[in-house]
């Protein structure tokens, strides 16, 4: 397994992903938005466990979870057997793309402490997530329905 991208470097990378990326911190976690809209982040960095989410054991030294939301079709292509499988993935495995432990049913995926090569493979997913956020924002401000 390759070395994980240090958290500070991941924050810098996501902050500079788009020219208008905005970052909001809440309880030690970071939410990345495209532009001023703050309803739908295109990515999150969860840096610690809490009462609702301790699936990834973020108490591991240097561990964090990068998560992005994608289209249903993309999620299904990445995890075609998710609904058939009874067993949950091991959410503590580092550098492995998997459904988000809580928001997987909403087509969010995550990776615990990604390496540079894993992050590189996620760039199209980040772009898709940005596009989804932009579409939701446009629909919300124009009174239409958000894309799933």
pLDDT digits (tens, 9 = 90+) for 17-57: 888 899 999 988 999 998 777 788 999 999 988 888 889 98
Nearest-angstrom CA–CA distance, 92 and 70: 21
pLDDT score at 133? 82
pTM over 0.75: yes
Going 60 to 103 to 127 to 11, the CA torsion angle's sign is: negative
Confidence of residue 84 (pLDDT cuts 50, 70, 90): low
Nearest-angstrom CA–CA distance, 95 and 118: 7
Within 10 A of 76 (CB to CB), how many other CB atoms are there? 14
CA proximity to 102, closest of 59, 67, 147, 131:
67
pLDDT score at 49? 86
Nearest-angstrom CA–CA distance, 82 and 9: 31
User: CA geometry: angle at 72 spanning 85 and 144, to 5°?
Assistant: 145
Strands (E), 11-119: 21-26, 29-34, 43-46, 65-69, 98-99, 108-112
Nearest-angstrom CA–CA distance, 7 and 23: 14
């Amino acid at each position: 397994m390759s070395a994980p991208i240090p958290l500070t470097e991941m924050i810098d990378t996501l902050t500079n992903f788009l020219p208008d990326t905005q970052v909001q911190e809440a309880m030690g976690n970071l939410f990345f938005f495209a532009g001023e809209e703050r309803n739908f982040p295109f990515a999150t960095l969860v840096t610690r466990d809490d009462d609702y989410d301790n699936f990834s054991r973020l108490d591991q030294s240097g561990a964090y979870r990068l998560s992005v939301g994608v289209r249903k079709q993309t999620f299904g292509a990445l995890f075609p057997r998710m609904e058939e499988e009874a067993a949950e993935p091991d959410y503590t495995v580092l550098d492995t793309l998997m459904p988000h432990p809580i928001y997987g049913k909403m087509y969010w995926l995550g990776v615990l402490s990604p390496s540079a090569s894993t992050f590189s493979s996620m760039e199209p997913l980040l772009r898709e997530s940005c596009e989804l956020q932009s579409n939701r924002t446009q629909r919300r401000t124009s009174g239409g329905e958000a894309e799933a």
